[in-house]
Amino acid sequence: MPEIESELDGSVARVTINRPEGRNALTAKAANDLIDAITAFSPQDARVIVITGRGTSFCAGADLSEYAVDESGESAYANLSGALVRAARLIGEHPLPVIGYINGPALGGGATLALACDLRFAAPSAVIGIPAARLGVVLDFSNARRLYHIAGASVASDVLLGARILDADEAEAAGIFNRVTRSDPPEDDVNKWLAEIASLAPKSQAAHKKALRALIDQIPPSPESDPALTEEITKLSIEAFGSEDLQEGIAAFASRRKPNFKGR
C-alpha cells in the first residue's frame, strides 16, 4: 500500500499521508513521495491542494525506526529534514493554494509540513509542536524562520526552547491554525471551506500567494541575506546530529522515558 496517496476530487487535489500504524510518521522515501504527489497536480487539474493524514494523526514527524548516524554526523533524520525543506519550498512555489488539514497531532516534521502550507485548517483534536529539544535535534533555519513569522517571537520561543505542544485553541489564537472546525464530522466544515477556496479566481490567488511569499522572504534575516548566520546554524546542526545527546534522545523516546542530556 502506498505511503502517500493522492486523488483528484472534482477541483480539490487530495494528498494523504498513509502510515496510520505509525501515526503517519515520515520516512525520507515517504517525504520524497509527498513531493512527487504535490508536483503531479497543476492549475489545469485542480483549484486547491489539501494535505492530510490517514486515521487520527496528521503526521507525528520522523520515523525514528530508520534512524542511523554515520561518522560525518549525517543521518537518516537529516535526509528526511532535507526532504521536508524541499517539500516546504515546493509548497511555497506551487501556484495553487496548498491547505493543510490538521486532523490530529502534527509534531516535529509534521508541524513543519503544516507550517509550510498556505492555510491550516484543524480538527478540535489537533495539536502542533516541534519537540526538537526533547530529542536533541535542531530545526533548520528556514522552518524556524517560518514559525517565527507565522506565530511571532513569543510563541516560537516557547515551541522551540520550551518544546511546548499547542492544542487546537492555542494554535488558533497564535495564528498557526487559521480555522478550527466545529462540525461533526469535522470534515464537513473542511470540505465546505475547500469548496469555497476552489471557487475563487485562480489568477488572483496565484498572484497574491506569490506576493505574500515574497514579502515574507524579503524580511531579514534569511538564509540568502545572511550566509554567515546560515553557516553557523548549519555547523551547530551537524554537531547536534552527531552528538551523544541525540543518541540519548532517540533511546529515551524509544523506551518512553525522560532523556538525560549531558550537553555533548
221 domain-assigned: no
Mean pLDDT to the nearest integer, 122-135? 95
Separation CA 217–CA 222 (nearest Å): 7
83 domain-assigned: yes
52 domain-assigned: yes
Range of the domain at 110: 4-184
At 194-213, the pLDDT tens digits run 999 999 999 999 999 988 88
Q: Are strands 98-102 and 119-122 parallel, antiparallel or unpaired?
A: parallel
The CATH number assigned to the domain holding 57 equals: 3.90.226.10
251 domain-assigned: no
Q: Between the CA of residue 203 and those of 41, 165, 207, 208, 217, what are the distances in Å? A: 16, 37, 6, 9, 21
pTM: 0.85
Overall domain count for the chain: 1
191 domain-assigned: no
Strands (E), the chain: 4-9, 12-17, 48-53, 98-102, 106-107, 119-122, 127-129, 166-167, 179-180
104 domain-assigned: yes
Give me the pLDDT at residue 12, please.
Answer: 98
Quick check: 109 and 84 in contact, CB under 8 A? yes
141 domain-assigned: yes
- Residue 246 predicted with pLDDT over 90: no
Q: Bridge-partner residues for 75, per DSSP? A: 69
263 domain-assigned: no
At 168-197, the pLDDT tens digits run 999 999 999 999 999 999 999 999 999 999
At 215-234, the pLDDT tens digits run 777 665 555 556 776 676 66
